[in-house]
């Protein structure tokens, strides 16, 4: 492996596989490893450098697998450890790296450690945060922290030796938070990392990386912070999040990764209030990269695109890390839908976005046009790009799921006020004209989330031979990306018009028009790729081009 290859992660296009909804191999209506293996050629043809697989460990699925019962095995619904090894080998043979998702902030309530804690086995409860309740009879939660999914972040044990005690869960009650001040917790996770690295895994995406360490004594947050959705603080700091002590954990993890050749890598999911706070996770002896989420929070406005791009690049550069570009993932409204309503003049809050259903009828063709343009911007920027499954098919958020179909714990925990994230997790349409669109080999399989009846034209097969499809736009962009943009140098803005964000990198340029009138393209430039067909001398509204 050349030195350049060992830095693959600095420019990679990483495709996010939400395994439950990617492809079902065994016909039970749930995606699995067998289904993913069968579609690896599709991913190779798409041209991605790596896949990041959402949690596939045994789990009672209180939060779609982010409640892990055993970190060293595979959930039977997805396959076996042997299947996982085969998948890793097959992906590598196609030149695709494999990144897993590690969930260190909390375990499942079915994890053997939590069971041991509830049984009050010696030393077991110290691995979690158990506290007596407040008030004379202990019937109030120990502090005012709220769950990200809604309601108090504490649940009272109602039977057994710990009856009456409360335990902390920043997410669902089935996801008790670990106590990261406990040395056994630290040792256990370093061992889990090595377990998977030994099996050839190339890196980990770290779930809720800013959550692990809590402020000593678990003090109340300020009143304003008692609101749900405390995961992303826009101002101030909350004692549950982004505590300085968390960095010591990652120094230990980095030394585990450095034991391997090539070095294994980490990507932090850390919702912190500023890029400056984020940069602290990326110091040279900590994590390699972190998701920078402002790109997916930016409204469709050139001035915001310029701003989030500049901010992301300069803060990553301050610690020598590559910037990262995320348009979408399994927690947020799909790009097409986000851009299909009127655009605010501020960064959006991802949960706020979900509340817009019913407020304004979405114009999906418009949203899709913008999403295609946004993809070209994303893929022209320096650093790493993350593509969430289904974005390459131009899928929209399914906002009108029937209440009884909803699975996300957010729906129940918010008292049925936040529909949650199911709408971006619908099983992918592969082929055919009606559900399950080839997702499952069994046409009668009841899928874990229902697909809409209008997705025939959005299937991978329907788009495969259509030169104007979103799938073929992504394929073309990923094919051209190394030639035009890899190693092309820094972003240099070109002044065109307030509604146009245009930048050059080396000999190539990327232009995007977020306004409502067309603009002229520079004379002498050749259009290498455009987000809409027929773009030549002028750039129409809601369109992007790559020029050389
Ligand atoms: C992360 C995951 C999300 C999950 C939460 C709790 O934010 O992306 O899906 O619900 O952590 O593990």
pLDDT tens digit sequence for 84-112 = 999 999 999 999 999 999 999 999 999 99
CB of 460 closer than 6 A to ligand 1?
no
Q: Tell me which H or E stretch contains 545.
A: strand 543-547
Q: Shortest CA distance to 133 belongs to which of 146, 119, 147, 143? A: 143
Counting Cβ atoms within 10 Å, is residue 28 exposed (0-12), middle (13-18) or buried (19+)?
middle
Q: What percent of the chain has pLDDT over 90?
A: 89
For residue 3, the 8-state DSSP code is: H
pLDDT higher than threshold 50 for residue 523: yes
Query: What residues contact residue 16 under an 8 Å CB cut-off, 6+ apart?
Result: 51, 52, 54, 329, 330, 386, 387, 388, 389
Would you state the pLDDT for residue 430? 98
Average pLDDT over residues 298-321: 94
Contact status, residue 55 vs residue 44, Cβ threshold 8 Å: no
Measured in Å, residue 441 CA sits from the centre of ligand 1 at: 29
Average pLDDT over residues 460-476: 98
Average pLDDT over residues 182-193: 98
Measured in Å, residue 66 CA sits from the centre of ligand 1 at: 6
| Averaged confidence pLDDT in the chain | 94
Q: How confident is the model at residue 116 (pLDDT cuts 50, 70, 90)?
A: very high
CB of 68 closer than 6 A to ligand 1?
no
Measured in Å, residue 183 CA sits from the centre of ligand 1 at: 24
Average pLDDT over residues 302-323: 94
pLDDT higher than threshold 50 for residue 294: yes
C-alpha–C-alpha distance, residues 120 and 190, integer Å: 25
Would you state the pLDDT for residue 477? 98
Would you state the pLDDT for residue 486? 85
Average pLDDT over residues 444-469: 97
Beta strands (DSSP E) in 228-364 are 265-268, 289-290, 324-326
Would you state the pLDDT for residue 160? 98
pLDDT higher than threshold 80 for residue 193: yes
Average pLDDT over residues 392-407: 97
Task: Tell me the domains of the chain and their CATH numbers.
Answer: 8-107+184-470 (3.20.20.80), 112-168 (3.90.400.10), 490-547 (2.60.40)
Beta strands (DSSP E) in 276-389 are 289-290, 324-326, 384-388
CB of 103 closer than 6 A to ligand 1?
yes
CA angle 38, 42, 48 (to 5 degrees): 120
Substitution site in 55, 66, 425 for ligand 1 pocket (most atoms within 8 Å of beta carbon): 66
Phi, psi of 394 (to 5 degrees): 65, 35
Would you state the pLDDT for residue 232? 55
Contact status, residue 60 vs residue 174, Cβ threshold 8 Å: yes
Contact status, residue 67 vs residue 51, Cβ threshold 8 Å: no
Which has more pLDDT, 275 or 322? 322
pLDDT higher than threshold 50 for residue 394: yes
Would you state the pLDDT for residue 275? 79
Would you state the pLDDT for residue 144? 93
CB of 331 closer than 6 A to ligand 1?
yes
Would you state the pLDDT for residue 352? 80
The residues with which 99 forms a beta bridge, in sequence order, are 52, 203
Would you state the pLDDT for residue 446? 94
pLDDT tens digit sequence for 17-75 = 999 999 999 999 999 999 999 999 999 999 999 999 999 999 999 999 999 999 999 99
Would you state the pLDDT for residue 499? 98
Would you state the pLDDT for residue 273? 82
Average pLDDT over residues 265-284: 91
Measured in Å, residue 208 CA sits from the centre of ligand 1 at: 7
**Which atom of ligand 1 lies closest to the CA of 330?**
9
The catalytic residue among 63, 269, 286, 353 is 269
The catalytic residue among 67, 83, 109, 207 is 207
Would you state the pLDDT for residue 506? 94
CB of 66 closer than 6 A to ligand 1?
yes
Q: What percent of the chain has pLDDT over 70?
A: 96
Quick check: is 422 catalytic? no
CB of 207 closer than 6 A to ligand 1?
yes
Quick check: is 492 catalytic? no
Counting Cβ atoms within 10 Å, is residue 85 exposed (0-12), middle (13-18) or buried (19+)?
middle
**Strand order of the sheet with strand 527-530?**
492-494, 500-505, 508-513, 543-547, 527-530
Q: How confident is the model at residue 228 (pLDDT cuts 50, 70, 90)?
A: very low
Average pLDDT over residues 101-130: 98
Instruction: Give the chain's length.
Output: 548
Measured in Å, residue 52 CA sits from the centre of ligand 1 at: 14
C-alpha–C-alpha distance, residues 215 and 129, integer Å: 12
Q: How confident is the model at residue 231 (pLDDT cuts 50, 70, 90)?
A: low
Q: Tell me which H or E stretch contains 17.
A: strand 13-17
Query: What residues contact residue 503 under an 8 Å CB cut-off, 6+ apart?
Result: 309, 380, 491, 492, 493, 494, 509, 510
Q: How confident is the model at residue 192 (pLDDT cuts 50, 70, 90)?
A: very high
CB of 171 closer than 6 A to ligand 1?
yes
């Amino acid at each position: 492996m050349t030195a350049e290859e060992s830095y693959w992660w600095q420019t990679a296009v990483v495709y996010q596989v939400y395994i439950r909804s990617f492809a079902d191999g065994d016909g039970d209506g749930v995606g699995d490893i067998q289904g993913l293996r069968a579609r690896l050629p599709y991913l190779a043809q798409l041209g991605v450098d790596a896949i990041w697989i959402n949690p596939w460990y045994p789990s009672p699925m209180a939060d779609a697998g982010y409640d892990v019962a055993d970190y060293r095995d595979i959930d039977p619904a997805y396959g076996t450890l042997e299947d996982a090894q085969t998948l890793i080998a097959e992906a590598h043979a196609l030149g695709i790296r494999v990144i897993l998702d590690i969930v260190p902030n909390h375990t499942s309530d079915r994890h053997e450690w939590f069971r041991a804690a509830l049984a009050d086995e010696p030393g077991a409860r110290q691995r979690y945060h158990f506290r007596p309740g407040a008030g004379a009879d202990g019937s109030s939660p120990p502090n005012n922290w709220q769950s990200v999914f809604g309601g108090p972040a504490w649940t009272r044990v109602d039977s057994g030796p710990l009856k009456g005690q409360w335990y902390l869960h920043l997410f669902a009650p089935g996801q008790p938070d670990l106590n990261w001040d406990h040395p056994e917790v630290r040792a256990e996770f370093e061992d889990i990392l090595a377990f998977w690295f030994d099996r050839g895994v190339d890196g980990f995406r770290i779930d809720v990386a800013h959550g692990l360490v809590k402020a000593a004594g678990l003090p109340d947050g300020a009143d304003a912070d008692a609101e749900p959705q405390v995961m992303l603080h826009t101002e101030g700091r909350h004692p549950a999040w982004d505590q300085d002590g968390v960095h010591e954990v990652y120094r230990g993890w980095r030394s585990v990764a450095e034991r391997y050749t090539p070095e294994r890598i980490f990507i932090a999911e850390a919702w912190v209030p500023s890029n400056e706070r984020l940069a602290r996770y990326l110091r040279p002896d900590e994590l390699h990269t972190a998701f920078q989420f402002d790109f997916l929070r930016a409204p469709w406005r050139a001035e915001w695109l310029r701003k989030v791009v500049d901010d992301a690049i300069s803060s990553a550069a301050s610690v020598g890390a590559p910037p990262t570009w995320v348009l979408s993932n399994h927690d947020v409204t799909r790009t097409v839908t986000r851009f299909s309503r009127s655009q605010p003049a501020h960064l959006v809050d991802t949960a706020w976005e979900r509340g817009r259903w019913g407020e304004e009828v979405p114009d999906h063709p418009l949203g899709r046009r913008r999403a295609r343009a946004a993809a070209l911007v994303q893929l022209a920027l320096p650093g790493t790009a993350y593509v969430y499954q289904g974005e390459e098919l131009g899928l929209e958020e399914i906002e009108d799921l029937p209440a009884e179909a909803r699975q996300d714990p957010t729906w129940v925990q918010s008292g049925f006020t936040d529909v949650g994230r199911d709408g971006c997790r619908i099983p992918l349409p592969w082929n055919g004209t009606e559900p399950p669109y080839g997702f499952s080999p069994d046409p009668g399989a009841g899928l874990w989330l229902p697909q809409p009846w209008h997705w025939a034209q959005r299937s991978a097969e329907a788009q495969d031979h259509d030169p104007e499809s979103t799938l073929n736009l992504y394929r073309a962009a990923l094919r051209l990306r190394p030639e035009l943009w890899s190693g092309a140098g820094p972003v240099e803005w070109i002044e065109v018009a307030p509604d146009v964000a245009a930048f050059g990198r080396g000999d190539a340029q990327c232009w995007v028009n977020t306004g409502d009138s067309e603009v002229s393209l520079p004379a002498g430039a050749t259009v290498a790729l455009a987000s809409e067909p027929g773009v030549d001398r002028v750039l129409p509204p809601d369109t992007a081009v790559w020029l050389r």
